[in-house]
Amino acid sequence: MMATLMRKWDEVLKNADPRVADWFMMSTPLPSFIICFLYVVIVKLGPWLMRDRKPFEMKNVLLAYNLVMVIISAYTLEEFLNAGWLAGYSLRCEPVDYSTSPQALRMAKVCWLFYITKFLELFDTIFFIMRKKFNQVSFLHVFHHGIMPVSWWFGVKFVPGGFGTFHSTCNSFIHFMMYTYYGLAALGPEYQKYLWWKKYMTKMQIIQFICVVIHTAQLLFIECNYPKTFVYIIGSYAFVFLVMFADFYFKTYKAKRSETQKSTHIKNGTAGKRKVN
């Protein structure tokens, strides 16, 4: 069985991009799987390890971390745009350029950097646990963070560029905004007045996934020299995350607003009253 699996894997690797074969973490997906497995273990054990401890004071660490993530997100956004989406990429069919031209290599390199950032983002969860913000470590949060490193290994290994980088370009912008928000929040309560746009972050994420679903769906109806397997993977991820983020938004903002309004009516003695003509 193992011999058969290895033979199948060797056949799959024949379609891999030879340019990235020797890049860091790209020879095998095993390190990515191991790191993601350890991430899940930390998520499971973290609250138990922290149950009798005080939350860690991490203001300076969070400020430094969020600043680094803002810079990296801005850089990947700029590179995705200038290596492709502002340099002739089509919003319809855009095959991967596997050549060694400067532009093609630039795109492949930023895809690899984006993949590496998926590991850095795992610290979001670790910091939540260390600060005992367990309510932030939701299934949506863990699923979103835990699945990306492995899926992006395959993206960089086989399709580092072209059509599929539309969603990573959108995601780089979202993360630039998100880590800017986190950085301001880490400055302290006196900066809360600048964080009025928190709920719009979730709206931007939802819009992002809607755009990716629409952008990906078109390849189901037109001919394009881009692997259909990755079309299905990108589209499925985007649709699942769209549903999950929309559900989160409704439960966090819409449902709570309805509860607040209901409580206000009861408090004011207006609940259940009928209008008398």
**Joined tokens for residue 157:** 């290994």
How far is residue 274 from each of residues 56, 59, 268, measured CA to CA in Å? Answer: 53, 52, 14
Q: Are 125 and 141 in contact (CB under 8 A)?
A: yes
Q: For the chain, how many helices (H) and strands (E)?
A: 10, 0
Q: Give catalytic status of residue 144 as yes or no.
A: yes
**Joined tokens for residue 175:** 């993360």
Candidate list 144, 145, 175, 215, residue with the active-site label: 144
The residue with tokens 């497995």 is 37
The residue with tokens 């499925």 is 236
The residue with tokens 């692997």 is 227
> What contacts 46, CB < 8 A, 6 or more positions away?
126, 129, 130, 137
Q: Are 132 and 5 in contact (CB under 8 A)?
A: no
221: phi then psi, degrees, rounded to nearest 5: -120, -5
**Joined tokens for residue 189:** 């309560």
Q: Angle, nearest 10°, between helix axes 102-120 and 59-80?
A: 160
Supply the residues annotated as catalytic. 144
